[in-house]
Amino acid sequence: MTAVTPLLAPDILYLFNHGRLFHAYRTLGAHMHVSDGVAGVRFAVWAPNARDVRVAGDFNGWAGEGCSLARLGTTGVWAGFVPGVGEGAAYKYEIVGADGRTRLKADPYAFRSELRPGTASIVARLDRYRWQDGEWAERKRRHPPYERPMLVYEAHLGSWRLDAPERFRTYAQLADELVDYVASMGYTHIEVLPLTEHPLDRSWGYQATGYFSATSRYGPPEGLQALVDRCHARGIGVILDWVPGHFCKDDHGLRLFDGTPLYEPADPRIAEKPLWGTLAFDFGKAEVQSFLISDAIFWLDVFHLDGLRVDAVASMIDLHFDKPPSMHVLNRHGGSENLDALDFLRKLNETVFRYFPDTLMIAEDSSAWPGVTSPTYLGGLGFNYKWNMGWMNDALRYMETDPSQRSAKHSLLTFSLLYAFSENYVLPLSHDEVVHGKRSLLNKMPGSYEEKFANLRLFYGYWMTHPGKKLLFMGGEFGQFDEWKDAEGLDWVLLQYPLHEAMQRYVRDLNALYAAEDALWERDHAPDGFEWIDADNAAQSVLSYVRRARDPRRHLVVVCNFSRQSYPAFRIGVPTGAVHRVILNSDAPGYGGTGCRVPRQAKAARKPLHGQPFSLEIPLPALSFLLLEPERLAVE
């Protein structure tokens, strides 16, 4: 069986070699092809320093000697047509490296992979699914996200529900169960942990080998396409956790792909990621840029995803990130910034928005790098959202503090408003905060069993009314008590217990209220969408503020009592003299609260307070969140 060299257009290879081939998955990899009337597969792979490249598979007894590919000039690409090979064939590249050693490598551009522990690539087509989401795409085009509600449910598909160890729900099952559940809870988006093929379950997908291959753990790639389509039919966007920062060192993966550092930098001080035991990509290499940017485009194009959450941006842009001094290197200007990574991120975002202008590009960035969500033409990195890690760390530190000590840490809740509008923020309560001994959100809360639930309901109210879009990891909505166990399913049995069932009801109602009230999201990124009533009441651990819609007359009043003290009559300033209706009370009996009586409405009086022309008096239960709406707005 001899490979015949196919014609690959020189202009395509030129773009690839210059970091400008943004649909490289249409050329490289394994593609079914007909040559002179004979059906087979065209293989193409980049291995510039290899001595020889052959295709070994189940169609030739895994002996590649008779299936050598041809080197295409100085492009570094090897290609060939193998007749008689069809869809479903398993294969690898047999690469004789520059060092003379032969390595079996999975195809970096493969569309499908074997289920682990198998590591072979599989010939596959991804063009058969008939999408039904045209209406969704048009709606997304008409309504940019900035002034729309965004409430994201973060999920790990392998542990959302499990019947038994490693008995995963399939994409097809999740298209019914997960999507219906997320829709019933009122979320606007699902964010899934990485779905690129990966060898180790416990890496959660963050250490990949198949960047164009949806993991086979949950079924064929068409199942994922149907899952996304079903989400869109239910009005739910889909965001993929995408990992361009590093890759695993498994022998069949990208490491030393042609016997030399190819996808990784040659300098091990830059290449090595000691925190994770992985390797960084060489962001300055043109062909690596074509690979990674094409991968981003691939998921948006072939799987109709609505956004990418770009993982570990801080580790990409800092040459010293979590490295000992012995591994420190400086850039050409004498700084520690990874200039190649910064240029890559700008190019990535420019390219994505050129092809898919309605995409969400979200940076998971713990650094203080300025302008992450500013346009590249203004010197920014060009994302349209950034996770607010500072808010998350401060808010959780505060909530973990016993209420008796919170007055000394009051600024942890208020500091975020000093920078809340410097970027377009998402407020994340993600999987990272409920693993590795950090405890679940519920179990972070101090106090008695009942107080834990009261604290969490209060915290969710503060989170939902703070400027910024929202993200919650699965299980948080019903008060998962144990931290996330990635090899097991969520503890759905907890819904048999009243306080957990009440927590789920509270979150569902809070989600619905968020979606219905434009004051909670329409001006998320503008200072005039937020106004303090009283930010300085540390002594009583009480916060009060106003959230405003685009029409400033449309507003909500928020009161949060983070103390154990109840106040039968608590007075706050308000902007108008209207009757204010309590539209959510976290202490209500139906949510598991104490039932401390709070009237359904209160009339403001012309008694100026807190810099406001009016004020009103309400009972304020301990550890409670109250949301009030001027009555005249509610009946418009």
Output the DSSP codes for 252-306: TSSTTTTSS-SSS-SSHHHHEETTTTEE---TT-HHHHHHHHHHHHHHHHHS---
Q: Is pLDDT at 465 greater than 70 in this prediction?
A: yes
The rounded distance, in Å, linking the Cα atoms of 577 and 277 is: 61
Per-residue model confidence (pLDDT) at position 522: 96
Could you tell me the CA-to-CA distances from 421 to 368, 380, 416, 417 in Å, in that order? 14, 15, 9, 8
Cβ contact 615:607 at 8 Å: yes
Number of C-beta neighbours around residue 548 at 10 A: 21
Identify the band that residue 205 occupies on the pLDDT scale cut at 50, 70 and 90.
Answer: very high
| CA nearest to 628, candidates 594, 603, 608, 593 | 603
Which member of 364, 477, 518, 524 is catalytic?
364
Residue 433 annotated to the active site: no
Query: What's the whole-model pTM score?
Result: 0.96
Which member of 107, 241, 306, 311 is catalytic?
311
Tell which wins on pLDDT, 553 or 393. 393
Please write the tens of the pLDDT for every residue from 311-326.
999 999 999 999 999 9
Cβ contact 446:487 at 8 Å: no
Identify the band that residue 164 occupies on the pLDDT scale cut at 50, 70 and 90.
Answer: confident
Per-residue model confidence (pLDDT) at position 636: 38
Per-residue model confidence (pLDDT) at position 591: 98
Given the structure tokens 């990899």, which residue do they identify? 29
Identify the band that residue 341 occupies on the pLDDT scale cut at 50, 70 and 90.
Answer: very high
**Residues, the chain:** 636
Could you tell me the CA-to-CA distances from 581 to 24, 216, 449, 502, 511 in Å, in that order? 57, 51, 30, 22, 18
Identify the band that residue 163 occupies on the pLDDT scale cut at 50, 70 and 90.
Answer: confident
The rounded distance, in Å, linking the Cα atoms of 490 and 538 is: 37
Residue 364 annotated to the active site: yes
Q: Is pLDDT at 3 greater than 60 in this prediction?
A: yes
Per-residue model confidence (pLDDT) at position 417: 97
Three-state DSSP state, 273: strand
Per-residue model confidence (pLDDT) at position 165: 82
Q: Is pLDDT at 1 greater than 80 in this prediction?
A: no
Q: Is pLDDT at 121 greater than 90 in this prediction?
A: yes
| CA nearest to 457, candidates 319, 589, 610 | 589
Helix, strand, coil share (%) of the chain residues, nearest 5: 30, 25, 45
Please write the tens of the pLDDT for every residue from 35-52.
889 999 999 999 999 999
Q: Is pLDDT at 634 greater than 50 in this prediction?
A: no
The rounded distance, in Å, linking the Cα atoms of 240 and 220 is: 17
- The mean pLDDT of 414-433, rounded to a whole number, is 98
Per-residue model confidence (pLDDT) at position 265: 98
- The mean pLDDT of 328-334, rounded to a whole number, is 97
User: Phi then psi for 143, rounded to 5 degrees?
Assistant: -130, 85
The mean pLDDT value of the chain amounts to 96
Per-residue model confidence (pLDDT) at position 231: 98
- The mean pLDDT of 608-627, rounded to a whole number, is 97
Q: Which helix (H) or strand (E) holds 16?
A: helix 10-17
Identify the band that residue 6 occupies on the pLDDT scale cut at 50, 70 and 90.
Answer: low
Per-residue model confidence (pLDDT) at position 635: 40
Per-residue model confidence (pLDDT) at position 68: 96
Amino acid at 368: A
Domains and CATH numbers, the chain: 10-122 (2.60.40.10), 527-634 (2.60.40.1180)
Token pair listed for 213 = 């291959």
Token pair listed for 174 = 């999740």
